[in-house]
Structure 1
């Protein structure tokens, strides 16, 4: 077990770069912070490259850290590493999910250019709760491993495949598998309550612009959620939750 006391340590400086997307893309690694997320990661130990624990952190005795590369760090180092105001002093350096092809399954959530990390994390968590088989993000969406995404997802990214893909190719591949793809749109769409799906893929889009028109042209069918009050629209994560549970119930 290694001990690092100085925040100026070369290894710590390198790990701090993992809060930046460019470094995550370069190394294939990302950082988790906090007891809940690290505890969830410990259930999938093969994805953990290194565990960092502050000497002041009250690490639960139930944590099984056998066989892991564990680094003890000073409070100064923990503060330097933290991405939050009130850090808990526990971190896990994890390996990103990689996949050469779309995962198997009968239910999918597709995110087209969703920009808000909180929305993405919430939708991953909701997809997990609804028993969806995989979440596919377009390359134009916010980074899956953005710390705000990970905090909002609450560890759900470990429970199902969550991948960054070319959505045009994904839609075509899903349809080849006889999985209908339901886009979300305000025009040329039907009330979602009229749809009774078996296997399905749900496609939701950017917070301001919705799903790209070229993708909507490729979907099996497009649906909308009726608005009964005066609000112009629903938050994309809320809309995704309503639709996922509707389609999942009829799967």
Structure 2
């Protein structure tokens, strides 16, 4: 059993709380039974399974390198206030191909809960790809991962230059809707294509002008009450379910 937070392996695990270290090691940490089960059922590679002594491990998970740790070590490597006593280190996947039938593009959204929720909703709505643009929170941020509820393991997700990815999508005949007010039509008035990419933007500034100018259509969700705007994850959900409905 590993009982010291000064253990070299524990030090490496703790470093995964930092983006620069996740990038360097090309790994990230997940916590809890549900996320580990979703990772196990996917094609992602689990490189270490970490558990406290009293946690019973399912037989299907015994194929992974297994490390037993004390509760103080588990508390040191995890982010949640009440850890479930089990965590895993997962190898990143580098998705290079954004060509898809239905894609969600996220422009400079910085709230991890919003990004994770949008990934989860994209999964639920039957989208196959999510592209995180420059300025968007890191995909492997702990709060993003937890908010996805495992959907991170179900979709093609990449971090890339949105303009370049939009050019690829449009070259393959996929129209792009951008959310915004400038020269925008109410989304219900725009014909729903079979294949589509939807762009949503920063919580305060919205989608950048450069991206809006490049979109096939700019759409707006009407506000019927006195609210100034919709939360970005709610807006994304409305549009994604509209185009698949």
State the TM-score bracket (shorter-chain normalisation). Answer: over 0.9
Q: Secondary structure at the match of 1:51?
A: strand
Q: How does 1:223-238 map to 2 (within 5 A)?
A: 223-238=219-234
CA offset at residue 46 of structure 1? 4.6
User: Is the CA contact 1:56–1:75 (under 8 Å) kept in the aligned structure 2?
Assistant: no
Q: How does 1:190-209 map to 2 (within 5 A)?
A: 190-197=185-192, 198-209=194-205
**C-alpha separation in 2, matches of 1:181 and 1:234:** 20
Report the counterpart of residue 40 of structure 2 in structure 1. 42
Q: Secondary structure at the match of 2:215?
A: coil
CA offset at residue 245 of structure 1? 0.4
Residues 26 and 168 (structure 1 numbering): CA distance in 2 closer, same or farther, change over 3 Å?
Answer: same
Report the counterpart of residue 111 of structure 1 in structure 2. 106
CA offset at residue 6 of structure 1? 1.6
User: Is the CA contact 2:95–2:157 (under 8 Å) kept in the aligned structure 1?
Assistant: no
Structure 2 length-normalised TM: 0.96
User: Is the CA contact 1:204–1:210 (under 8 Å) kept in the aligned structure 2?
Assistant: yes
**C-alpha separation in 2, matches of 1:217 and 1:162:** 24
Q: Please give the per-residue CA displacement for 1:21-51, whole angstroms capped at 9, x wherever unaligned.
A: 0100111100001121112112136511111
Report the counterpart of residue 244 of structure 1 in structure 2. 240
Report the counterpart of residue 170 of structure 2 in structure 1. 175
**Structure 1 residue ranges without an equivalent (≥5):** none
Report the counterpart of residue 101 of structure 1 in structure 2. 97
Residues 66 and 140 (structure 1 numbering): CA distance in 2 closer, same or farther, change over 3 Å?
Answer: same
RMSD: 1.2
Runs (4+) off by over 6 Å: none
CA offset at residue 187 of structure 1? 2.1
How many residues are matched?
A: 244
User: Is the CA contact 1:191–1:224 (under 8 Å) kept in the aligned structure 2?
Assistant: yes
Q: Secondary structure at the match of 1:131?
A: coil
Structure 1 length-normalised TM: 0.94
Residues 137 and 146 (structure 1 numbering): CA distance in 2 closer, same or farther, change over 3 Å?
Answer: same
CA offset at residue 58 of structure 1? 4.1
Task: Please point out which of 211, 216, 221 is paired with 1:220.
Answer: 216
